């Protein structure tokens, strides 16, 4: 005979068990309880707000529950979703080589469920992967494990055209990209197959920060209007910039191809002979900074891009370039949701 259920905690009343109330599901095995009644916590309708709040606080949310279920999901070896590659490299070694952390620390990341391979959370440190073909993420951030995938920051000199070839015979950005690969061939696993292309454009007379890369997904997002990230330029312009100019540029002006608006405008120096203006914006239209400043009566005589999202030129001189560090690539990926 079943005993009446009694809960001595305040705010709860004794009530019939779920079996007595006919609430236990009946299946092929009959009316069996597949849980302990003590695990079922129900609140009385008269429970006060404080008790209800405490009860709700103990329950996990849907997002947290989904994350836990995902972390627990790991197909068996040979299963359809199993990311294990029999002749691949150990996952912790791949992560360490990519600069994520020491091998021991990478093992801890894997064991704690913070690493995924091709969308599958991996918790076994013995898993082997193909770093050139599989997508590996740590805490949701994509990790570049293919040594031949490169992104380079270049300080483009004025006079270099942002094209891969130029029928007029002018120096091109492609020549600088080829020079980088040739000078760093010993750091690249397959230098003969690496071809870096420019990410976005700078007009011929504009100098400054531009990226060269063979990371297709990152390059695509950096150039896509949906993911347009902020860019900062320093311009030397004609004439003395009056106080109303920055405000007008921030409010927005109308150009022949539509409205244009700056996020931030700072006059660094100003005088009758000319002024220095720093302008930050998200727009990626052709020659946008030159056209905006010309529209307010200050034609540009020299222009340089000094920042792209989280990246800056630093101490690089015109013509110099360097490969992005892992943390810089990760910061760029966060900017565009990779």
Residues designated catalytic: 203
Strands (E) across the chain are located at 89-90, 115-117, 120-122, 128-129, 136-138, 141-143, 151-156, 197-199, 207-213, 231-237, 253-255, 258-260, 264-271, 274-281, 300-308, 311-312, 321-323
Q: What would the two tokens of residue 150 be?
A: 């490169």
Distances (CA, A) of 325 to 134, 190, 243, 290: 21, 19, 40, 32
CA distance 224 to 220: 6
User: Under the phi-then-psi rule, with left for phi > 0, alpha for psi from -120 to 50, and beta for the rest, what region is 208?
Assistant: left
Q: What would the two tokens of residue 88 be?
A: 């691949």
Distance of CA 161 to the CA centre of its chain: 29
Look-up of token digits 């010309």 = 294
Strands (E) across 95-230 are located at 115-117, 120-122, 128-129, 136-138, 141-143, 151-156, 197-199, 207-213
CA distance 84 to 312: 39
Task: Name 304's bridge partners.
Answer: 207, 234
Instruction: Say which residues have a Cβ less than 8 Å from residue 39's Cβ, sequence separation at least 6.
Output: none
Contact call for residues 199 and 222 (beta carbons, < 8 A): yes
CA distance 72 to 74: 6
Q: What would the two tokens of residue 331 be?
A: 């910061």
Q: 50, exposed or middle or buried, with CB in 10 Å at 0-12, 13-18, 19+?
A: exposed
């Amino acid at each position: 005979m079943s005993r009446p259920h009694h809960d001595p905690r305040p705010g709860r009343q004794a009530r019939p068990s779920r079996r007595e109330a006919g609430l236990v599901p009946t299946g092929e095995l009959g009316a069996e309880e597949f849980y302990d009644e003590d695990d079922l916590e129900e609140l009385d309708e008269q429970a006060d707000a404080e008790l209800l709040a405490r009860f709700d606080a103990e329950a996990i949310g849907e997002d947290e529950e989904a994350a836990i279920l995902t972390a627990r999901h790991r197909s068996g070896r040979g299963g359809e979703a199993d990311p294990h590659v029999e002749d691949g490299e150990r996952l912790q070694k791949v992560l360490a080589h990519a600069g994520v952390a020491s091998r021991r620390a990478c093992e801890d990341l894997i064991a704690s469920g913070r690493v995924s391979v091709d969308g599958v959370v991996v918790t076994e440190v013995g898993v082997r992967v193909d770093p050139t073909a599989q997508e590996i993420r740590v805490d949701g951030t994509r990790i570049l494990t293919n040594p031949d995938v490169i992104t380079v920051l270049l300080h483009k000199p004025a006079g270099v055209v942002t094209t891969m070839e130029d029928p007029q015979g002018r120096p091109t950005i492609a020549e600088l990209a080829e020079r980088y690969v040739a000078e760093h061939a010993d750091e690249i696993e397959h230098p003969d197959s690496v071809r870096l292309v420019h990410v976005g454009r700078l007009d011929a007379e504009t100098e400054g920060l531009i990226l060269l890369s063979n990371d297709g997904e990152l390059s695509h997002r950096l150039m896509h209007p949906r993911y347009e990230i902020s860019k900062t330029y320093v311009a030397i312009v004609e004439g003395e910039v009056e106080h109303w100019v920055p405000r007008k540029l921030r409010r927005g002006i109308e150009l022949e191809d539509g409205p244009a608006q700056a996020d931030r405008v700072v006059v660094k120096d100003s005088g009758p002979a000319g002024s220095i203006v720093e302008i930050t914006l998200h727009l990626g239209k052709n020659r946008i900074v030159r056209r905006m400043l010309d529209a307010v009566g200050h034609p540009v005589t020299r222009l340089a891009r000094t920042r792209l999202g989280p990246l800056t030129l630093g101490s690089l001189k015109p013509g110099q370039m360097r490969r992005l560090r892992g943390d810089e690539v990760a910061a760029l990926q966060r900017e565009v949701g990779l």
